[in-house]
Amino acid sequence: MTTLRPEEAAYISRVRELAVDVLRPLTEECCEARVNRPLLRAMGDHGLLRDLFGGEADSPPTDAAAMRLCLLRETIASVSTEAETALALQGLGSYPILQSGQPETIDRWMTGVVRGHTVAAFALTEPRAGSDAAALDLRAEADGDGWRLYGDKIWISNAPEADVYTVFARTTADAGARGVTAFAVAGDAEGLSGSHLDLLAPHPIGRLRFEGVRVEPQDVLGELDGGFKVAMRTLDLFRPSVGAFAVGMAQSALDLTLDHVSRRHVHGAPLATLQSVNHTLANLATQLRAARLLVYSAARMYDDGASRSDITMAAAMAKLFATETAQVIVDQCVQLHGAYALERGHPLEHLYRDVRAPRIYEGASEVQRSIIARELFRQLGNAS
């Protein structure tokens, strides 16, 4: 590992042991593309969901540490992508509640989230608002002292099975990002329905329909018309950890490949004796280390309280480079395995499907490049 403190290395060892002994067996017992509630309960019982946010046991969590989140995601991803995804979706869906919810809203949902009893989801994307999240159409119409939600969401984590959704809706028309509000919406709310989506990577993702779903003043997360800030603060925290997820997958692929080329013989000698193979592996390992360093740097900046602009740019760089690099590493590892890695059920076949999505969700790579460029020019303007 790189740039890790002794206590962080010890934490990784503990998490990896739990992932191997407890989490991975539970992923093998549940159907794909559905919320694995026994897995989430096990994560809660062993304190992994608590580790997403910190705080004392049997009390609402306090806040999030980006480095701990990255170590969690990277370590679990190197063992089981299903377990990692379950943990990440739980954090992504609930962090806006912890970050911006009123005390009664936090009390209502967060204790169940960290125990693994309450499934959370982040509902931002819509059929016509993906990369341009400020173009949201889901509308919140005033209804007495509250609102009613009308519209659709798509590619939503844990939908339609979640117990609580962080939902972003338009409260002021024609106001772009400044007219969006975040709400905590119960999964069993009247007028809320949904369905599963069948995607390349078999994770619990779905669509939602809101037909007059009632939300109360206490359900608002943050300020009215301030939902975009809630979303961006959440993504600033979670984007480096998407990079950590990618790093964990890439590390798993590289480990599998090092073992394979050491045992696989071609023309009477191990593949590992070929210079072309060695050079490929050397390049992959170098790229992996660079990705890990970017992820850790972004996480440290978040935890150390760097400026919002610096955090946003570092998070975008970490997600961009790590996810793009992981795609290359997994692809090259498949190539070095040959046809073995194409068989359904082979670990690399599984990684090959899983590694594609992170380049799109939580802001596609093109979005990250735009964010980086925007922050570069903003910093240039501040310096002049």
Q: Compute CA distances 186 → 27, 142, 191, 216, whole Å.
A: 26, 19, 11, 11
Rounded Cα distance between 163 and 118, Å, is 6
Rounded Cα distance between 358 and 322, Å, is 9
- 56 among known catalytic residues: no
Looking at the DSSP bridge assignments, the partners of residue 196 are 206
| 270 φ, ψ (degrees, to nearest 5) | -60, 145
- Catalytic residue, from 82, 324, 362, 375: name it: 362
Rounded Cα distance between 245 and 327, Å, is 12
Rounded Cα distance between 291 and 298, Å, is 11
Rounded Cα distance between 308 and 322, Å, is 21
Residue 377, Cα to own-chain centre: how many angstroms?
Answer: 28
Q: Compute CA distances 306 → 93, 118, 145, 351, whole Å.
A: 24, 32, 38, 34
| Residue 270 CB-density burial (10 A; 0-12 exposed, 13-18 middle, 19+ buried) | middle
Give the count of beta carbons closer than 10 Å to the beta carbon of residue 303: 17
Q: Secondary structure of 100-144 in the HEC alphabet?
A: HCCHHHHHHHHHHHHHCCCCEEEECCECCECCCHHHCCCEEEEEC
Active site residues: 362
